[in-house]
Amino acid sequence: MQLGLVGLGKMGGNMRDRLREAGHEVVGYDRNPALSDAENLADLVAKLAAPRAVWVMVPAGVTEATIDELAPLLSPGDLIIDGGNSRFSSDGPRAGRLSTRGIGYMDVGVSGGVWGKENGYGLMVGGSDENVARMMPVFEALKPAGEFGFVHAGPVGAGHYAKMVHNGIEYGLMHAYAEGFELLEASELVTNVPGVFRSWREGTVIRSWLLDLMDLALTDDEHLEKLKGYADDTGEGRWTVEEAIRLAVPMHVISASLFARFESRQDDSPAMKAIAALRNQFGGHAVQQAG
């Protein structure tokens, strides 16, 4: 089928390739003319036959503006799919606004990173049964072969919600491996830490794709000496904990993983300055002067 695709960066570009390999006709638009199949959004829309389906795959920060610019160019019966990392709570209002123009809306959480082009993308979809059925050929092409990698999670918003939880779990999984790595590195007994991670790839309870990647990373750099212990966070981890708070769900593990990222970006910890100050006050404990 024919699909408009807005945003041809690291994710969108690979998705265009995968869709075309599957025989779909993709008209892509990107601000970078070297990547783009259309001059601008209006040109993109003009190149598509109604009823149109336009997949928006841009950074979360510009999704709203992109859809606001796109919507007036579309016609009743057209459909917008947001495959970016929007907060789930923006989906319902957005769908409402578009419906006043007769435009449909779906949200798709897309996992897989740079490996998705080859392995397929995990897709978590929110929207009506009708719209899911309409886009199924595209989903079939993007998802991995076989019975997994796709879910119609619920109504509009459920796709981004499932992707948000996916990323929250990802934070926790990564931190569990990371704590294990740090302990093994500190141990006097284990002399072959990369070998331990490598061995775990088969036959163990903790085998996973993330573990495979950990093996690759340690093959490159046995003690990870080339990297700083620094990690950004991209929104979904925060939203996951916010939802846990809203819904009164205990979330010790994922929140701790999120807080560890915050800590990784601090030059010094204001909280630990307060601890040092208190210890100095009550016990005359030695403190370290800043600078």
Q: Please report, as residue ranges, which positions from 120 to 139 form the binding site for its own copies (by CB under 8 A).
A: 120-124, 126
Euclidean distance between CA atoms 136 and 5, whole angstroms: 16
User: 29: buried, middle or exposed (CB in 10 Å: 19+, 13-18, 0-12)?
Assistant: buried
Q: H or E stretch including 36? A: none
Return phi, psi of residue 109, to 5°: -80, 130
Q: Scanning residues 70 to 89, which ones bind its own copies (CB under 8 A)?
A: 88
- CB nearer to its own copies: pick between 65 and 183: 183
Site string for its own copies, 188-227 (x = CB under 8 A): -xxxx--xx-xxxxxxxxxxxxxx-xx-xxx--x--xxxx
Which one is catalytic: 64, 69, 140, 170? 170
Q: How many CB atoms lie within 10 A of CB 21?
A: 10
Q: 34 or 282, CB closer to its own copies?
A: 282
Strand bridging mode 104-111 / 122-126: antiparallel
Angle at the Cα of 18 from the Cα atoms of 13 and 21, rounded to 5 degrees = 125
Give dist(CA 154, CA 88) in Å, integer.
12
Q: Which residue among 111, 134, 136, 140 contacts its own copies (CB under 8 A)?
A: 111
117, 143, 163, 243: the catalytic one is 163
Is residue 253 at the binding interface for its own copies, with CB under 8 A as the rule?
yes
Find out whether 28 and 36 touch, Cβ atoms under 8 Å: yes
Smallest separation, CB 92 to its own copies (Å): 9
> Which of 12, 138, 172, 236 is the binder for its own copies (CB under 8 A)?
172
Asked if 241 interacts with its own copies (CB under 8 A), we say yes
Per rule CB under 8 A, is residue 270 in the interface with its own copies?
Answer: yes
CB of 14 to its own copies, least distance (A): 11
* 97 binds its own copies, rule: CB under 8 A: no
Q: Tell me: does residue 230 bind its own copies (CB under 8 A).
A: yes
Residue 47 falls in the annotated catalytic set: no
Q: How far is CA 269 from CA 56, 163, 248, 265, in A?
A: 39, 31, 28, 10
Q: Is 279 an interacting residue with respect to its own copies (CB under 8 A)?
A: yes
Q: Are the C-beta atoms of 191 and 185 separated by less than 8 Å?
A: no
Could you list the active site residues? Answer: 163, 170
